[in-house]
């Protein structure tokens, strides 16, 4: 041991300085590499989180934009309900994907956003149920009018056919009175069908016209009301997409649009009632 210490003591200071400098350099390199490794790990983790965040936002954007479009489509159906020629099949086609699109949002949205979507969905569903019930009554009267009109048209064609037969018999010199009596009787029967059907037709029209007007007003009223209930859900979705800087501007613009729309619709109804 003493010989080892003696050997070390004989090493020149210059060599010791070089050894110590090399050792310090080595340690410095280790620390630098370790720091670079930590920074690289932190950078990779940051990039990973950034990518995951962007992917999550992209998914939310797709889901919530589809939700917004689907609700817009559903709301767009309500004014169309005023048109009694707008068929049940057309309604079902326009609403076919709505439930599935809304259901997807429950998986991507926060709880408060899901609550806002559910509340609005329930409101729109209740409106549709009430409007479809009232529309069914109007459609029954419309169907009755179509049946009476078809009956009248059919009876008129039969009258024309009877007249043609009588003319043909006259041209042929046919003078069998029984045949003419039968044709005259048939003509009178068709005339009676036309008269009775015309009375019923006018009665159904007198019922349908005010009923349809009332229903149309209700459609537009409910459409405006549902539009006015949009902000909570829309603001929640804007928040999900990190786009909620000034929601009050949106609310004010929406309310202004609803007011202008109501004025336009009121003027239409006033002109029709005048």
* Residues 234-274: tens digit of each pLDDT: 888 888 887 766 777 777 777 787 777 777 766 666 655 55
Cα atoms in the 13 Å half-sphere on the side-chain side of 52: 6
User: In angstroms, how far is CA 247 from the centroid of its own chain?
Assistant: 22
**Residue 251 covered by a domain:** no
**Residue 262 covered by a domain:** no
**Helix/strand/coil for 183:** helix
Each residue's pLDDT, cut to its tens digit, for the chain (274 residues) gives 555 455 555 556 555 566 566 666 766 666 666 666 666 666 555 555 654 566 566 777 888 888 889 999 999 999 999 999 999 999 999 888 898 998 888 888 888 989 999 999 999 999 999 999 999 999 999 999 999 999 999 999 999 999 999 998 888 887 788 888 999 999 999 999 999 999 999 999 999 999 999 999 999 999 999 998 888 888 888 888 877 667 777 777 777 877 777 777 666 666 555 5
- The whole-angstrom separation of Cα 103 and Cα 96 is 13
**Residue 168 covered by a domain:** no
**Residue 139 covered by a domain:** no
Whole domain around residue 23: which residue ranges? 1-73+86-108
**Whole-number pLDDT of residue 261:** 73
- The whole-angstrom separation of Cα 211 and Cα 100 is 35
**Residue 197 covered by a domain:** no
**Residue 161 covered by a domain:** no
**Residue 254 covered by a domain:** no
- The whole-angstrom separation of Cα 53 and Cα 51 is 5
Inter-CA distances, 7 with 1, 10, 94, Å: 10, 5, 96
Inter-CA distances, 2 with 7, 8, 10, 78, 208, Å: 8, 10, 12, 103, 122
**Whole-number pLDDT of residue 32:** 67
**Residue 144 covered by a domain:** no
- The whole-angstrom separation of Cα 230 and Cα 266 is 22
Torsions phi, psi of 236, nearest 5? -60, -45
Domain count, the chain: 1
N- to C-terminal Cα distance for the chain? 123
- The whole-angstrom separation of Cα 148 and Cα 154 is 10
Instruction: Look up the pTM and report it.
Output: 0.72
**Whole-number pLDDT of residue 43:** 58
């Amino acid at each position: 041991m003493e010989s080892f210490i003696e050997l070390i003591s004989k090493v020149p200071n210059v060599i010791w300085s070089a050894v110590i400098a090399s050792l310090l350099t080595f340690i410095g390199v280790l620390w630098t590499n370790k720091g670079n490794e930590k920074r690289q790990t932190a950078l990779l983790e940051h990039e990973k989180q950034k990518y995951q965040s962007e992917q999550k936002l992209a998914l939310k954007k797709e889901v919530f934009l589809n939700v917004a479009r689907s609700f817009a489509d559903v709301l767009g159906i309500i004014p169309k309900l005023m048109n009694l020629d707008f068929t049940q099949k057309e309604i079902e086609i326009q609403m076919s994907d709505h439930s599935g699109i809304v259901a997807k949002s429950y998986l991507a949205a926060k709880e408060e956003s899901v609550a806002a979507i559910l509340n609005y969905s329930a409101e729109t569903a209740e409106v549709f149920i009430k409007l479809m019930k009232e529309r069914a009554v109007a459609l029954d009267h419309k169907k009755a009018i179509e049946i009476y009109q078809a009956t009248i048209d059919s009876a008129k064609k039969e009258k024309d056919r009877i007249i043609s037969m009588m003319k043909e018999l006259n041209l042929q010199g046919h003078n069998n009175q029984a045949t003419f009596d039968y044709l005259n009787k048939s003509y009178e029967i068709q005339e009676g069908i036309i008269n009775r059907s015309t009375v019923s037709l006018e009665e159904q029209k007198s019922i349908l016209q005010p009923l349809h007007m009332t229903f149309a007003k209700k459609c537009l009223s409910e459409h405006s009301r549902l539009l006015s209930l949009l902000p909570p859900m829309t603001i929640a979705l804007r928040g999900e997409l990190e786009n909620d800087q000034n929601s009050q501007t949106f609310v004010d613009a929406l309310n202004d649009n609803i007011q202008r729309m109501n004025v336009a619709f009121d003027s239409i109804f006033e002109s029709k009632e005048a």
